[in-house]
Amino acid sequence: MNEDNSIISIDHISKWFGEKRVLDDISLNIKKGEFVTILGPSGCGKTTTLRIIAGFETPDEGNIYIGGELMNKVQPHKRPVNTVFQRYALFPHLNVYDNIAFGLKLQGVAKDEIEKRVLRVLKMVGMTDYEWRDVDSLSGGQQQRVAIARAIVNRPAVLLLDEPLSALDHKMRKDMQIELKQMHKQLGITFVYVTHDQEEALTLSDTVVVMNEGVVQQIGSPTDIYNEPVNCFVADFIGESNIFNGTMIADRKVRFMGHDFDCVDEGFGENVPVDVVVRPEDIYIMQRNDKGQFTGTVSGCIFKGVHYEMTVNTPEGQELMIQDYNAFAVGTEVSMIIKPNDIQVMKKERICNTLEGVMTDATHVEILGCDFECLPQAGIAPGDKVTVEVDFEKVDLTDDKRDGVCEGDITFILYKADHYHLTVRAENGENIYVDTQDVWEDRDIVGINIRPEDMRISAKKAENQA
């Protein structure tokens, strides 16, 4: 597993914080000299991954190798990595020079050598003449530069950066991105960068690692991640996208929005439900004519600087987002074309909810940690373990959590052209997926109801006999 050119190997690492599993079997190889970005929403485990590389956390399962050596039990100060912290973490009692010289002094580097190296990195980060300044007197951007200088002056094999630009304003962030990229080229060392900003990830990295809920979703180059997302989460998180429920009719033929389209994907089988992603800039829009593949009416048009962003409603009840250099006024009848290359077909992760449960009595089943009423089941006795299947659209959410059998909070919302696909985390930490027309907000606390007749219950045979 340790290929010759890989400097960091994360091998099946899992990590729990109490009951909560924050990392779930993460594996990742980082090549020497690469600029790798770990990208994901807050709480996805990206910072924990970085802290495991730095040595501030130890994995509960799995191994971490740096430079081919097992590092699980190696203390942070003995690892060949340096970190740029989120809020800089400069030493307030030391001036700029002493902050940067901190690591070198500990290593016992000669005084004149320290001075040479400190001045060199100060020049590199554009902070010459600031060496005697008090760090509290510096602006956010300047503190950031000192933090970077303090890390790279030690010539680490790997530089870890934990959302280093998140505290800076937009313009400053753009400038720093360019400088970081140049620094990476100049230094030739490996950068591992953690961020929740997808634009930053695409701009900076050689490789992007998309994480969600402690699981690696996709690893690839920025173009791969953008053009060929492996699932709805990645498609939605990276850039803007139109996501549809579709059906793969045959190889190179997919049906969505009530129309058949040519695509380039093969090997899904026939009449298989799939998710389809089309980027808003990949839909060609024109005045209504008969050359289009489908039609619609413009219902919104916003100027975004470089392009216009339009909302188009189709007669089939779908809502599309389209970006184009030409504006079409609200109410315009339009025709649209999507080219085969621009249709990204993804295997559905699931087509209905599949929940593990236990029959508590003849008409009740415990799923999601709560007791739901169900129809009497022939051949299943109370206490039996069962599998319960529920269609996405059959799950009912209530505003007041007390109106539901179970309580949950909405952790992810995906808009799928004519409905929302919600991820709701129940009290016991399990997820249930819901299709709905209603508008909910992220982090809403809701009640969960399922009608007895909408549950398909089957016994788990193998375990029953055990």
Partner 1 sequence: MKKLLARLYLGLILLLLYAPLIFIAVSSFTESKVLGNWTGFSTKLYSNLFSGGMQGSGLMNAVYNTLIIALIAAFISTLLGTLAAIGIFHSRGRLKNATMFLNNIPMVNPDVITGVSLFLLFVFLGVSQGYVSVVLAHITFCTPYVVLNVLPKLHQMNAKTYEAALDLGATPGQALRKVLIPQLMPGMVTGFILAFTMSLDDFAVTFFTRGTVGLETLSTFIYTDARKGGLTPELRPLMTIIFIVVFVLLVVVNIRQERAAKKKASLK
The reply on whether position 437 binds partner 1 by CB under 8 A is no
- By beta-carbon proximity to partner 1, the closer residue of 30 and 312 is 30
The yes or no reply on residue 150 touching partner 1 (CB under 8 A) is yes
Specify the residue, 37 or 154, whose C-beta has the smaller distance to partner 1. 154
> Total number of residues binding partner 1 (CB under 8 A)?
25
- Given the rule CB under 8 A, which of 103-111, 277-285, 293-301, 433-441 is the region that contacts partner 1? 103-111
Stretch that binds partner 1, among 28-36, 48-56, 304-312, 379-387 (CB under 8 A): 48-56
CB within 8 A of 77, min separation 6: which ones?
A: none
Binding part of the chain for partner 1, among 54-62, 202-210, 333-341, 425-433 by CB under 8 A, reads 54-62
- Cβ of residue 258: shortest distance to partner 1, in angstroms? 54
Residues 198-257 that bind partner 1 (CB under 8 A): none
90 counts as binding partner 1 under rule CB under 8 A: yes
Q: Is-contact 203 177, C-beta < 8 A?
A: yes
| DSSP, residue by residue, 4-62 | TTEEEEEEEEEEEETTEEEEEEEEEEEETT-EEEEE-STTSSHHHHHHHHHTSS--SEE
- Is position 89 an interface residue for partner 1 (rule: CB under 8 A)? yes
Name which of 38 and 446 has its Cβ closer to partner 1: 38
Taking contact as CB under 8 A, which single stretch among the options 73-81, 111-119, 177-185, 420-428 is the one that binds partner 1? Answer: 73-81
Does 166 contact partner 1 by CB under 8 A?
no
Shortest Cβ distance from residue 54 to partner 1 (Å)? 6
Stretch that binds partner 1, among 83-91, 178-186, 369-377, 455-463 (CB under 8 A): 83-91
Q: How far is the CB of 83 from partner 1 (least distance, A)?
A: 5
For residue 69 the two structure tokens come to: 């050596």
Contact 152, 183 (CB under 8 A): yes
| Residue the block writes with tokens 């509960």 | 60
Q: How far apart are CA 54 and CA 74, in angstroms?
A: 10
Window of 3-11, 71-79, 113-121, 330-338 that interacts with partner 1 by CB under 8 A = 71-79
Q: Which two tokens stand for residue 171?
A: 């313009």
| 417 φ/ψ sector (left φ>0, alpha ψ -120 to 50, else beta) | left
Q: What are phi and psi of 87, to 5 degrees?
A: -105, 40
Q: CB neighbours of 95 closer than 8 A, spacing ≥ 6? A: 131, 132, 133, 134, 135
Spatial contact of 59 and 52, defined as CB atoms under 8 Å apart: yes
Which CB, 125 or 345, lies closer to partner 1? Answer: 125
- In the list 76, 220, 292, 447, the residue contacting partner 1 (rule: CB under 8 A) is 76
359: Cβ contacts below 8 Å, ≥ 6 apart? 365, 366, 377, 380, 381, 382, 383, 384, 386, 457
**Identity at 434, one-letter amino acid code:** V
CB of 16 or CB of 91, closer to partner 1: 91
Single-letter residue type at 132 = W
According to CB under 8 A, which residues from 104 to 133 bind partner 1? Answer: 106-107
Residue type, 386: V
Residue 10 within binding range of partner 1, rule CB under 8 A? no
Residues of this chain that bind partner 1 (CB under 8 A): 54-56, 75-77, 81-83, 85-87, 89-93, 102-103, 106-107, 136, 150-151, 154
